[in-house]
Chains A and B, each alone.
Chain A
Amino acid sequence: MSIIAKVTRREFMKKSALLGGGLVLACHVPLAGKLAIAGTDATFAPNAFLRIGADESVTIIVNKSEMGQGVYTSLPMLLAEELECDWRRIKVEPSPVSNEYNHTQFGPVMVTGGSTSVRSEWERFSRAGAAAREMLIAAAAESWGIDPSACRAENGYVTGPEGRKESFGKLASMAARLPVPENPPLKGGKKRRLLGKPVHRLDSPAKIDGKAIFGIDVYEPGMLTAVIERPPLFGAKVKSFDSVKTEALPGVRAVVSVQAGVAVLADSFWQAEKGRRALSITWDMRDGEKTSTEKLRGEYAELAGMPGIAARHDGDAPTALTMSDHRIEADYSVPYLAHATMEPLNCFVDLGKDRCLIKTGSQFQTLDRLAAAKELGMEPEQIIMETAFLGGGFGRRACTGHDFVLEAVQVAKAAGKPVKVVRTREDDIRSGYYRPMYCDHVSAALDKNGRPSAWRQTIAGQSIMTGTSMEKAMVREGIDHTSVEGAIDLPYNIPNVLVDLHTTKNNVPVLWWRSVGHSHTAFVVESFMDELAHISGNDPYEYRLSLLANRPRHSEVLKIAAARSGWGKPMPKGRGRGIALHESFGSFVAQVAEVSVDSGGNMKVDRMVAVIDCGKIVNPDTIAAQIESGIIFGLSAALHGEITLVDGRVQEGNFDTYPIVRMDESPVIEVHIAKSDAPPGGVGEPGVPPAAPAVANALFAATGARVRSLPITAEKIRRSISDRNSRA
């Protein structure tokens, strides 16, 4: 996502100072406020992100969705560091959808994505805490009749000379009457208590007790549960249906036809699901997408062999390639992928006459709400959208088509009942919004020293952003940035570089998938770089390093990864090490994979060593957890993930046909965080891209087999080994 508008801190503080009680109440922040949101009843709410109660409670209102990335802990850490409150008293509350919670960089929308939460909120949450601290100090100083500079805040108290001490809770009502400071000072780095230290997640206790409420756990009085029978092809529609058998079943309350298909509403999920199985539907398949992935792969591969629209053009790669007497070429491909969040998509809607309540786990609240408003002919402000915990997001819950929200709105409207629409796993996997499939043709010219003098990567695949509300910002001159990111920013020092793109079209819905374009480009770039190293007789680590002069952060993580992994130490037969490096979302990650492969081509990933430079850090344990998570996510794509279409029908449906990595396949993972004072980078996504190429490169080191299409299956490994043997 690009920067559309930036709200400055100054504007923010002004805005928060202006927030009157009316507006606050309208968006359901229980702030009892007048001037400067001065609270009544001794509640101190100096801005939209914080409330301090007379009971010493500290409530931090978080405007980012918690989907596992730890944002209900990291953003409170930023605020609490400045506030100097007692960390143990902190409670987190999800924010409502309202302008003061909009993203600081993505324009007027509340959204969680792009690994931006900490980066984009660092300043705002820090200032929010600092402002409150200054006001509490001022309140204490006033009551003691001394100068504020003689007082300080610490662990939930303001202290002053001669043993003066008062708690935040006691000072709250007084502080609430003071003006909000325009420019509260931030603490220096040395005095930090929380930032940079491993802090336990605030959401863990609720999660281990089964008390955390996810969207699927929403139960409201009078609510029905609905499941939707969906068309077998993308774009097909309901022609007619017979629901007589369904409606005769116990618990079934209504059957309605909506855009997504035929919805069965019942008292419980199981009754709805049984009702759905009894439906008989005739589909209008005329506009259905009937393509097959095999056919697409052929078309894409052909396109990738022809010139596309240039996305990066340094020097003259085509000429350098034609002139070269040492040219290397290869074809790569990656499949469609489903996000397969552990919690299947779901959404609760209660539609009233002039209001609508939506409860779900969304990463995309403002735009979902807008789409729902349009659908209902309401103003967005008439729709209250509450954010539950997300049982995984990975981009799927930031849906440019708003599918799981809109379908629930339509069902609620058609049935006139409060309803929770739940997808089965099969619905979830088959209903689209996949990471696009891509084919790449890459070529390089090597000079007499074996260094690349030219590099060309031609990409063919669908655009994620075309046709969405983000097209304007994300598609420029025919180039969707998400199709080429990670390729156009090739870090290696090569004089002639051309990255060109063919944007293909069909009706398979596509969407960002954890690490977006990088999930594709890193595999191609880092695998091919490995090929060049081996062909030129170089060590893949040394080769990369030699091409990274002037790239200190890339070089540093690469060096640490090599050192920590024991790079270069001999390995027994059938085992190998592979290295990969990739920058994404403002962070730099190097990974070394160790694999072992048996004679049947069965590969096991034994160990992954990862190094990240993500600049200034908040919670090192969360960073480690996110990199571990990214690696497993990347390995699922490397080893298993593939959505296949045959005549338009998605072949996969559940975890038997769309497997993800299990514990017994899960490697030992070591994460190292490089020391860095650079501005903060993302951590949710950057762990994903290097995993697949590191494994592919390790496979080559172990066996000489080069698998250029994901997933890397035993069959592909066997084929590659036998191809190699027959050539030898």
Chain B
Amino acid sequence: MITFNLNGRAQTVDIDPETPLLWALRDHLRLTGTKFGCGEGLCGACTVHIDGEARRSCITPLRDAAGKNVRTIEGVPSEHPVKQAWLAEEVSQCGYCQPGQIMSAVSLLEKTRNPTEREIDDAMSGNLCRCGTYGRIKKAVRSVAAETAKGGKKP
């Protein structure tokens, strides 16, 4: 039995604690926004936050989430500046990678208000997009950073 905080609520799951968090979320808790892309930490589609850190849930055993705060794409409100920037820049194509992209971007911007190009590349290059939306992702991240710098809403 593993208990953790999921998107602000206590959650208990009674499955094999070795189950990757990704499959606990998808198969057992039916939070399907977190995606399966590679299963080996190579694509970022499964990115969630554990205690604020972006983590690849496909290679994180459920056990590691015990007692922690887990945040998934469903836990980031639609009005969040990063999601709004994603809409404004019209980032999504097939959309499959985007929950993971957004989770990586939120984590980056929560830690680094005004990231350099290098910092954006470093934080985001582990998130693959077969539709090639990288240019728009970068624009969206920069626009959130610029908003924050102007004293707008905090991400």
Contact = CB atoms under 8 A, between A and B. Distances in A.
B135 A666 contact: yes
A203 interface: yes
Interface string B85-122: 01100111111111100100000000000000000111
Interface string B24-54: 0011101111111111101101000000000
A216 interface: yes
Which one of A70, A208, A268, A341 has the highest number of Cβ atoms from chain B below 10 Å of its Cβ? A208
Nearest to B102: A208
B25 to A, nearest CB: 10
A214 B132 contact: no
A664 B87 contact: no
A204 B87 contact: yes
B56 interface: no
B20 interface: yes
Contact of B98 (A208, A213, A269, A630): A208
Contact of B27 (A206, A210, A269, A661): A269
Contacts of A344: 36-37
Contact of B128 (A214, A390, A660): A660
A70 to B, nearest CB: 7
A521 to B, nearest CB: 22
Which one of B72, B83, B130 has the highest number of Cβ atoms from chain A below 10 Å of its Cβ? B130
Interface in B105-153: 120-122, 124-138
B78 interface: yes
A203 B32 CA distance: 17
B135 A628 contact: yes
A208 B90 CA distance: 10
B26 A269 contact: yes
Contacts of B86: 204, 208
B74 interface: yes
Contact of A210 (B15, B72, B124): B72
Which one of B15, B23, B86, B96 has the highest number of Cβ atoms from chain A below 10 Å of its Cβ? B96
Interface string A224-241: 010000000000000000
A631 interface: yes
Contact of A391 (B42, B78, B96, B137): B96
B65 interface: no
A205 B87 CA distance: 7
A629 B43 CA distance: 17
Contacts of A662: 125-126, 128, 134
A68 interface: yes
Given A209-B33, A219-B32, A663-B134, A68 B128 contact: no
A470 to B, nearest CB: 25
A663 B125 contact: yes
Which one of A70, A209, A250 has the highest number of Cβ atoms from chain B below 10 Å of its Cβ? A209
B16 interface: yes
Given A342-B43, A656-B40, A666-B132, A210 B87 contact: no
Interface string A340-354: 111110000000000
Nearest to A73: B90
A619 to B, nearest CB: 10
Contacts of A340: 130
A203 B99 CA distance: 14
Interface string A616-654: 000001000100111111000000000000000000001
A352 B62 CA distance: 36
A210 B19 contact: no
Contacts of B126: 662
B interface: dominant SS: loop
A548 interface: no
B93 A391 contact: no
A424 B19 CA distance: 16
B70 interface: no
A67 interface: yes
Contacts of B39: 424-425, 654
Contact of B96 (A70, A208, A343, A655): A343
B130 A342 contact: yes
A342 B131 contact: yes
A209 B27 CA distance: 18
B90 A343 contact: no
B27 A342 contact: no
Contact of A629 (B37, B93, B127): B93
Contact of B95 (A216, A389, A393, A668): A389
A344 B38 CA distance: 8
A422 B32 CA distance: 14
A92 interface: no
B128 A391 contact: no
Nearest to A626: B93
Contacts of A631: 132
A211 interface: yes
Nearest to B78: A209
B137 A663 contact: yes
Contact of A655 (B31, B38, B78): B38
B91 to A, nearest CB: 8
B32 A391 contact: no
A68 B27 contact: no
A144 interface: no
B38 A425 contact: yes
Given A67-B94, A208-B92, A342-B129, A213 B32 contact: yes
A629 B133 contact: yes
Contact of A669 (B28, B78, B102, B135): B135
A661 B121 CA distance: 12
Contacts of B134: 632, 661-663, 666
A655 B132 contact: no
Contacts of A389: 94-96
15 contacts: A66-B94, A209-B73, A214-B96, A268-B28, A340-B130, A341-B94, A342-B129, A342-B130, A344-B37, A389-B96, A391-B95, A424-B39, A425-B42, A656-B40, A662-B125
Given A69-B93, A204-B92, A656-B40, 16 more contacts: A208-B92, A209-B74, A217-B26, A219-B32, A342-B37, A342-B128, A392-B131, A425-B40, A425-B43, A621-B90, A625-B133, A630-B132, A661-B132, A662-B128, A663-B124, A666-B134
Complex A-B, nearest 6 residue pairs according to Cβ-Cβ distance, in ascending order = A210-B33, A632-B132, A391-B96, A207-B95, A68-B94, A68-B93
